[in-house]
Chains A and B, each alone.
Chain A
C-alpha cells in the first residue's frame, strides 16, 4: 500500500471518529446530575420562572436528547459548533480566540522539549553511566515528577519575582500596545506588524510557561531516546558500520539515530495532543488564555456546546498528529508502509 492511499484512508476515518467523540461527550455530559439551565442563568435568574422558560425555549432544552444531538450534528455538518452556554458566543468564535494562544504555547513547549530532550537523550546514551547520563536522569526525573502548578509557581517566584530576569504571567506586557491581530499567534502577529518591542515581549513571556509545560515532554523524550539509542548502538549493523571504517558521526547520525528515533517520533505525536489539551495548570498559573482552561471551565460548568467543540478540536489534532507520526515513520523507515 502506498503512502498516499494510507493517508487518504486515515483522513476518511476522521469523520466517523468525530461523530463517535461528539456522541460520547454528549452522552457523558447528560449523565451529570446537573441542569444546563444552571449554567445559562445566574442563580438569581434561576429563581425567576419567566427567565427560566425563556432560556428553555431559546436553547431548545425542552426537546428530547436524541433531537438535541441530531440538531447538533446537523449544525456541525454546516460548520456550526453551536453557542456556548456560558459565554453566550459562538463556540467557533471562542475557539478562534483561545486556540492560537494554546498553539503558540504548546509548540514552544514542544520545541523546547525537542531541542533540549533529544540532545540530552543522545548524550546520555553515548556517555552511558557517566556524569552526562546522571545529569540527564536527574533532569528527566525532575521533569516527570514535579507537577506544573508547583514548578510554575516556583519558576515565577525565582525568575520573575526574585531574580527579575523574566516577565510574569500573561502573553505580553500590559503596558505595551498589542500588535494588530492577524493570526492570533502573538509572535507571528508581532513579526507581521514589524513590532520588535512586542515580539521581544511576546517571546520573553513564552519562556517560563513553555519550559514548565515542555519539561515533562523533555523528560520523556530524553529517556526514550536514550533507551532506544542504547539498544540500537548494541546491534550488529552498527558494529559492522564501525568496522567498515565509517566516521563515528556518520554511524550515529545516519545509521543509529534513524532507527532509534522511531519510538521518539511516536511519543512526539502523543505529546502534541497532550500539550494542547493538558496545559490547564500552566495556563492557570501563567494567566494564559488558551483552550486547556476553556475546556476545563466548560466541563466544570457543564457548558456542553463548548465542551463538545473543544473535544472536537482536540480529537482532530490528535488524529492529525497520529497521521503525521505515521508519515514520519514512513520517511524514517520506508519498510513500514510496505507492510
Chain B
C-alpha cells in the first residue's frame, strides 16, 4: 500500500515538474527566417541568382517610457514622447548634433524677422509631403500651432510667445509675437512644434479652433498613428511597454537607414544593460553611471559620454517667514561657497557631470568655466559669522525621494556640517514636493532637475530671473532689479552683443544673490551595440532617428 501512495505522489510531482518545464521550454525566439522546404526548386548553376532581400533593420532602444501616456504632440510633455514624435513630425527649423546652438532650415527653407522682432515670416520648402501624400502647406503650420495653443494640453505654454499665425500664401506663413523674442527661433525647433498634416488630423476629429480643448477628438487616433512628414511613422504605442516607429516609405528627404525603431520600456538599469549585452537592445540611453565601467568592458558595446544642457539645481528662499537664516543673502552665499561640488560629482555621479558657474549650463555661449566660484570654507565661515550664525543653525532641506538624491543630500549635509550648518534631510514624494515648490511656494530649500525644452537661455533665465511674481522658480524672493533687467535683455533684446553681455551679467548677479545655483550638469551616458551607426546626440530631441542604422 505504501508503495502505491509513493508511486502516486511521485507521478503527481513528475506531472507538475513537466508542466513547469514545458512552460520553460519555448525560449527560442524566432529571429531567423524559416529554412526553405526540401522540395524548393534549386536554380541551375549558371542562372544569375538575385541578391537575397536585405534583412529589415530593427533598432531597439531601451528607455523608461512609463511617463508616456500619449503620442499626440499637443497632449504630451515628456522625453520619450518627444523623442518618438521628433521621428514622425518635423519642425520648421532644426538643430543638429554638430551645432545645437544654430538653427538650420528644415520644413522652412528660410525665414525673415521684421525689424521690430515681432513678425517671423517662414518660407516653406516646396515639394515636402506628409506620410499621407498630402503636400505641406502654410495652413498645416497654422493648424498645428493653433491646435497646440487651443488644445490647452501640457505643452500649450510653448505658444505663450505667439499672438497669431497668419497664412500669407500656400508656402508662406507669418508668425506674430506678443513681444520681440530673439529666442523664439529656437523655440520653433522643439518637437511639440512639429508640423501636422491638418487634413488627416481633421479627418480624425482634430480641431485647432478656440474651443479645441473640448471639441478636438483626435488624440486617441494620434496615440496610435502619426500625421507628420518625418522619416518615420508611428505604428503603435503600448503604454509602459513600447512605441513602434516604421520607416516612412514616401519620405521627401533622405530615407531612414533603419526600417523600424522600437522604444522599449525598461526600468531597472542593471537588467537594461544585460539586455543590451545580450543583443535584445541596440541602444541604451541614460546609462547608470555605476554601470559605465561594466559596459565599457564589454567588447560588443561602445559607450559615449555626452555633454547635455540638463541641470540639477538648488534653490533657497529669501522669505524670513519660511527661513530666517536663508533669507539673509550672506548665509546663501556661504552655503554656495561651502559646497564641495567636485566631491559631489565624484561620489554621486562617478565624475560624469560638469560644474557650471550658475544656473545656466556650460555649452551655451557666454557661460564660461572661469566664472566658477571655487570652494572656500573659510570665507563661508566668515560670511556666516558676519550674518550672526557663527555657531551655525538648523534648516530643512527638501529633495525628491530618489536614491541619487539621497546621496546628494548626504553630501550636502556633510559639506555644510563643516561650517556649522545642520541640514535636516527631507526626502519628499514627487507630488508633495512639486506642490510645495511650484504651487504653494512653501519649501525653504529644495533641489530638482531642470531639462531644457528648447535650446535658449530663456528656458533658464525666464524661470529664475522673473521669479519675483507668481511665476517661475518662486522662492518668495524679490529678485534684484538688475537681475530682472538682465533677464529682460536676454528675453527681448534684439542686439546679439548686448544679449551676450546680459548673459554674463545675469550669471554674476545670480552668484551674488545666491538664491539658486546648479549643483551639477550631468552627462548623458549612452551605451550601444558596436554595429549601430549614425548616432549623434542632440539635446531635447535626443538624436536624428533617420540617421541611425546598423
A and B found bound together: yes
Q: Are A169 and B275 in contact (CB under 8 A)?
A: yes
Cβ contact within 8 Å between A34 and B241? no
A37 in the interface (beta carbon within 8 A): yes
User: In the complex, which residues 231-251 of chain B have their Cβ closer than 8 Å to any Cβ of chain A?
Assistant: 236, 238-242
A284–B430 touching, CB < 8 Å: no
A228 to B5, CA, bound (A): 18
Q: Is B53 an interface residue (CB 8 A)?
A: no
Q: Say whether, besides A34-B435, A160-B278, A301-B430, A247 and B160 are in contact (CB < 8 Å).
A: no
B271 touches A169 (CB 8 A): yes
160-183 of chain A: CB within 8 A of chain B: 160-161, 164-171, 173-176, 178
B267 touching A284, Cβ below 8 Å = yes
Interchain CB contact under 8 A, A176 and B277: no
Contacts of A120 in B (CB 8 A): 13
Q: In this assembly, does B431 line the interface, its C-beta being within 8 Å of a C-beta of chain A?
A: yes
The answer to whether A45 and B154 touch (CB under 8 A), given A38-B431, A156-B271, A289-B265, is: yes
| A168 in complex: contacting residue of B12, B70, B77, B280, CB < 8 Å | B280
A88 CB → nearest B CB, Å: 6
Is B256 part of the contact surface with A, judged by Cβ < 8 Å?
no
Contact A175 B26 (CB under 8 A): no
Given A116-B16, A161-B278, CB of A47 within 8 Å of CB of B463: yes
CB distance from B16 to the nearest CB of A (A): 5
Are A176 and B29 in touch, CB under 8 angstroms? yes
CB contacts (< 8 Å) of A51 on chain B: these are 152, 156-157
Q: Which residues of A contact B236 (CB under 8 A)?
A: 178
> 11 A-B contacts, Cβ less than 8 Å apart?
A34-B431, A35-B439, A39-B431, A49-B470, A115-B19, A153-B268, A153-B270, A167-B27, A175-B29, A249-B8, A302-B431
Nearest A residue to B75, CB-CB: A88
Complex Cα spacing A175 to B550, Å: 15
Given A87, A160, A166, A300, which contacts B430 in the complex, CB threshold below 8 Å? A300
Residues of B within 8 A of A178 (CB): 236
Q: Confirm or deny: A226 has a beta carbon within 8 angstroms of a beta carbon on chain B.
A: no
Interface 1/0 per residue, B106-139 and A, CB below 8 Å: 0000000000000000000000000000000000
Contact of B434 among A43, A86, A97, A123 (CB under 8 A): A43
Which A residues from 163 to 212 make CB contacts under 8 A with B?
Answer: 164-171, 173-176, 178, 197, 199-201, 203-204, 206-207, 210-211
The yes or no answer to B198 lying at the interface (CB within 8 A) is: no
Task: Chain A residues near B547: list those with CB within 8 A.
Answer: none
Complex contacts, A41 vs chain B, CB 8 Å: 154
| Cβ contacts A221-250/B at 8 Å (1 or 0 each) | 000000000000000000000000001110
List residues of chain A with CB within 8 A of the CB of B267: 284-285, 287
Interface status of B344 (Cβ within 8 A of chain A) = no
Query: CB within 8 Å of A: which of B1-58?
Result: 1-2, 4-5, 8-9, 12-13, 16, 19-20, 23-31, 58
Give the complex CA separation of A227 and B66 in angstroms.
43
Query: CB-CB < 8 A to B268: which residues of A?
Result: 153, 169, 284-285, 287
| A88: chain B residues within 8 A (beta carbon) | 69-70, 75, 153
Asked if B154 and A87 sit within 8 Å, CB to CB, the answer is no
**Once the chains bind, are B157 and A153 in contact (CB under 8 Å)?**
no
Contact A49 B471 (CB under 8 A): yes
A→B interface (CB under 8 Å): 32-39, 41-49, 51, 54, 58, 84, 86-89, 94, 97-98, 112, 115-116, 119-120, 122-123, 126, 153, 156-157, 160-161, 164-171, 173-176, 178, 197, 199-201, 203-204, 206-207, 210-211, 247-249, 252, 284-285, 287, 289, 293-294, 297, 300-302
Chain B residues closer than 8 Å to A204, beta-carbon distance: 23-27
Across the interface, which residues of B come within 8 angstroms of A161, CB to CB? 274, 277-278
When chains A and B are docked, how far (Å) is the Cα of A45 from the Cα of B158? 10
Q: Smallest distance from the beta carbon of A108 to chain B beta carbons, Å?
A: 8
> Which residues from chain A contact B274 at a C-beta distance below 8 Å?
156-157, 160-161, 168
B429 within 8 A of A: yes
B9 proximity list for chain A (CB < 8 A) = 119, 122-123, 126
Within the complex, what minimum Cβ distance (angstroms) separates A136 from chain B?
11
16 new A-B pairs (CB below 8 Å) besides A157-B274, A201-B30? A47-B471, A48-B471, A51-B157, A88-B70, A88-B153, A98-B240, A119-B9, A122-B9, A160-B274, A167-B29, A174-B60, A204-B27, A248-B2, A287-B240, A289-B239, A302-B432
**Structural contact, B238 and A289, CB atoms closer than 8 A:** yes
* A57 and B393 alpha carbons, distance in the complex (Å): 43
Beta-carbon contacts under 8 Å, B182-218 to A: 213
User: Which residues of B sit under 8 angstroms from A171, Cβ to Cβ?
Assistant: 241
B95 shortest CB reach to chain A, Å? 20
Give chain B's interface residues, CB within 8 Å of chain A. 1-2, 4-5, 8-9, 12-13, 16, 19-20, 23-31, 58, 60, 66, 69-70, 75, 77, 152-154, 156-157, 160, 213, 236, 238-242, 262, 264-268, 270-271, 274-275, 277-278, 280, 429-432, 434-435, 437-440, 448, 453, 463, 470-474
Q: Is the CB of A34 within 8 A of B5?
A: no
Chain A residue nearest to B2 in the complex (CB): A248
Chain B residue contacts of A47, Cβ below 8 A: 438, 463, 470-474
Partner among B75, B152, B438 whose Cβ is within 8 Å of the Cβ of A38 = B438
Question: A47-B474, A87-B69 given as contacts; is B31 within 8 A of A175 (CB)?
Answer: yes
CB distance from B322 to the nearest CB of A (A): 15
> Which of A33, A34, A167: most chain B CB closer than 10 A?
A34
Pick the residue among A32, A153, A169, A248 that contacts B5 (CB under 8 A).
A248
Residues of A within 8 A of B160 (CB): 48
Within 8 Å CB of A176, what residues of B? 29-30
- Interfacial chain A residues near B157, Cβ < 8 Å: 44-45, 48, 51
- A116–B19 alpha-carbon span in the complex (Å): 10
**A170–B277 alpha-carbon span in the complex (Å):** 16
> What 10 A-B pairs have minimum CB-CB distances, sorted nearest first?
A87-B69, A200-B26, A38-B434, A46-B438, A289-B240, A35-B435, A302-B431, A248-B5, A34-B432, A34-B431
B20 adjacent to A116 (CB under 8 Å) = yes
Contact of B432 among A32, A46, A289 (CB under 8 A): A32
Question: Are B58 and A170 touching (Cβ within 8 A)?
Answer: no
A213, B429: Cα distance in complex, Å: 27
Contacts of B238 in A (CB 8 A): 97, 289
Of B26, B70, B266, B453, the contact of A89 (CB 8 Å cutoff): B70
Determine the chain A residues whose CB is within 8 A of the CB of B25 once the complex forms.
Answer: 204
Q: Whose C-beta in chain A lies nearest to the C-beta of B451?
A: A44
Complex contact A207–B434 (CB within 8 A): no
Q: Are A285 and B271 in contact (CB under 8 A)?
A: yes
B5, closest chain A residue (CB): A248
Which residue of A is nearest B264, CB measured?
Answer: A174
Provide the bound-state CA to CA distance between A186 and B363, in Å: 47
Q: Which residues of B contact A156 (CB under 8 A)?
A: 271, 274
- Least CB distance from B158 to A in Å reads 10
B518 to chain A, nearest CB (A): 16
